[in-house]
Structure 1
Amino acid sequence: MNHVQERFGPDTNKEILLLCIGITSCLGRFIFGSVADFVKGANKVFLQVISFLIIGVMSMMIPLCHIFGALIAVCLLMGLFDGCFICIMAPIAFELVGAKDVSQAIGFLLGLMSVPMVAGPPIAGFLRDKLGSYDMAFYLAGIPPIIGGILLCLIPWVEARNKRKQKKEGLSKEQDISQKMIEHEKAQENAKNKIGDSVL
């Protein structure tokens, strides 16, 4: 709000930006929740990656908006993908850690999210006092979601690698079991032959 007041003047209807973010966040939850549930082949992790990247880029775009309409467009897009992030967070946690640990995973995630939410405003205020504008604060705020999105891209690769490893281990176990069964059958046959020879 202070950034808008400094950039566009005190008479600007700055509250409309929060309204735009709230409305499109609600729409984003409906849209992306439906996509994740009903569209076959929709990868929830990649939807989350896209939402992180767009939220980060939109945060960095805020200082570049010198027209109020452009700022509204940025806030609309940011709100839409904020809704995507919120609604897909729990299903991704469920997929990655399973039903047993999902509550802990969401708790850790929300705990980590609270750190920048608490520390962000004082840091932004400090940067404003030192640099004379909020521009640097918005640029810095866009970096963590982009880094998070890039790191999140690695999860499907790691998951596929673990599945291949488990599959190989399962195959090797099956081979060991079949080998032991063959050896057991051979031992039984040898024992039968020895008994037959002793009878003869």
Structure 2
Amino acid sequence: MNHIKERFAEESNKEVVLMCIGITSGVGRLLFGRIADFVPGVKKVYLQVISFLFIGLMSMMIPLCSVFGALIAVCLLMGLFDGCFISIMAPIAFELVGAQDVSQAIGFLLGFMSIPMTVGPPIAGLLRDNLGSYDVAFYLAGVPPLLGGAVLCSVPWIHEKWKQKEMSIIGGEKLEKMLENQTTLLPSSTGIIKKDSDPVF
């Protein structure tokens, strides 16, 4: 809001920007929650990647907006993909770690999110005091979502490899158990055959 007050001092309804983010965030949660129902398994991560990319790009575009209408459009898009990020966070955690550990995974995620949310505003204030504007702070704020989106692209591939490895281990254990069962059954079956065949001879 301080950036908007400095850049668009002549505008009277500056608070409409926050309202736009809140409204489209609610719409995004409903919309992408429904879309996520049709995306199978871990591929929901790609929705998260898209939301990270848009949030990062929109953050970097805020200082470039010289018209108040353009800033509103950027904030509308940012709110929409913020809603996407929030709504599919839990389904992705469920797909990756399962029902037993999903609450712990979400707790870790929210815990890590609290660090930049706490440290970010003071750093932005320091940058403003030293550089005279919030532009660099917005550019830097867009970098972590872009990097996070790039890293998330590899999650489905890693998860698939891990799943294949787990299935091969389970398959090997099942094969060993089957062989053990066969070896325990073979002596008794041969003994039965001998007993049955003794009177014939």
Assess same fold via TM > 0.5: yes
Amino acid at match of 2:142: G
Show the counterpart of 1:175. 175
CA distance in 1, matches of 2:115, 2:14: 26
1:1-200 matches, within 5 Å, as 1-37=1-37, 39=38, 41=40, 43-188=43-188, 191=191
CA contact (8 A) 1:32 1:87 kept: yes
Structure 2, unaligned runs of 5 or more: none
- Cα deviations across residues 22-58 of structure 1 (Å, max 9, x unaligned)? 1100110110111112x25373211111111110111
* Farther-moved stretch of structure 1 (10-19 vs 161-170): 10-19
Q: Secondary structure at the match of 2:100?
A: coil
1:196 offset after TM fit, Å? 8.6
Task: Name the TM-score, length of structure 2 as normaliser.
Answer: 0.88
* Farther-moved stretch of structure 1 (173-182 vs 140-149): 173-182
CA distance in 2, matches of 1:40, 1:9: 44
CA distance in 2, matches of 1:35, 1:20: 22
Q: Secondary structure at the match of 1:14?
A: coil
Identical counterparts, % of pairs: 59
Task: Name the TM-score, length of structure 1 as normaliser.
Answer: 0.88
Q: Secondary structure at the match of 1:66?
A: coil
Amino acid at match of 2:48: Q
Structure 1, unaligned runs of 5 or more: none
Q: Secondary structure at the match of 1:99?
A: coil
1:13 offset after TM fit, Å? 2.6
